[in-house]
Amino acid sequence: MSSPFEHVIRTAELSDATSIARIYTDAILARDSTMILDPVGPSEMEAKLLHLTNRETVLVAVDAKNTVLGWGTVKLYSDRPGYRLTCETSIFVDLPWRGKGLGTTLQKALLEFARRIGFHHVLVRIWAQNQSSISLHSKLGFTLVGIQKEIGHVDSKWIDVAVMQCLL
């Protein structure tokens, strides 16, 4: 898959772990999109890549030089059998590439993976203040299920989280 600004979406490789960790750490430190509070390193991301089930993936968007511009994941919602057709997605885009459609391209690729694997229900959890992510997901067919008030606590502040779903 490609788009007008010369990137390709592919399955992440172990060699991408450093770039994935850097992009994720930027999001962690920005305090606007994840409840992970401490920076992550390449070894943590390598472990994540090595422990994916056959129904999970990490995809990366790379440019012509194979530089990772963003990444996303499809992960199981729960290990309970009744939730076997439900997954959760997350996307993280490197700061210079935000607002240029890369998140949309990544989420579309994640949804295609989820569809191919046989998931029926896709869930995203977004900080309620992150209107750009809520808008992106709305355009892709996600609907707001509700706002979980004060579910997170980061840097002495309560965080509300929007729960959105898409039925495939």
Is residue 102 within 8 A of residue 69, CB to CB? The reply is: yes
pLDDT digits over 16-47, tens only? Answer: 999 999 999 999 999 999 999 999 999 999 99
* pLDDT at residue 70 in the model: 97
> d(Cα 160, Cα 151) in Å, to the nearest integer?
6
* pLDDT at residue 7 in the model: 87
Does residue 14 lie in a domain region?
yes
Does residue 104 lie in a domain region?
yes
Q: Kind and range of the H or E element at 121?
A: strand 121-127
CATH code assigned at 91: 3.40.630.30
Q: Kind and range of the H or E element at 46?
A: helix 42-50
Kindly state the percentage of the chain with pLDDT values over 90.
Answer: 95
Of the listed ranges 2-11, 54-63, 102-111, 152-161, the one predicted with least confidence: 2-11
Q: How many residues does the chain have?
A: 168
- Mean pLDDT throughout 50-55? 96
* pLDDT at residue 3 in the model: 44
Does residue 78 lie in a domain region?
yes
Does residue 2 lie in a domain region?
no
Hey, what are 4's tokens?
A: 């007008």
Nearest partner of 33 among 124, 108, 146, judged by Cα? 124
Average pLDDT, the chain: 95
pTM: 0.93
Name the band, by pLDDT with cuts 50, 70 and 90, for residue 5: low
Kindly state the percentage of the chain with pLDDT values over 70.
Answer: 97
Is residue 143 within 8 A of residue 165, CB to CB? The reply is: yes
Name the band, by pLDDT with cuts 50, 70 and 90, for residue 2: very low
* pLDDT at residue 1 in the model: 43
Q: Number of folded domains in the chain?
A: 1
Is residue 154 over pLDDT 80?
A: yes
pLDDT digits over 90-113, tens only? Answer: 999 999 999 889 999 999 999 999
Does residue 68 lie in a domain region?
yes
What one-letter code names the amino acid at 156?
A: S
Tell me which residue range forms the domain holding 61: 8-121
Does residue 128 lie in a domain region?
no
Does residue 26 lie in a domain region?
yes
Residues 6+ apart with CB under 8 A from 42: 17, 18, 21
Does residue 95 lie in a domain region?
yes
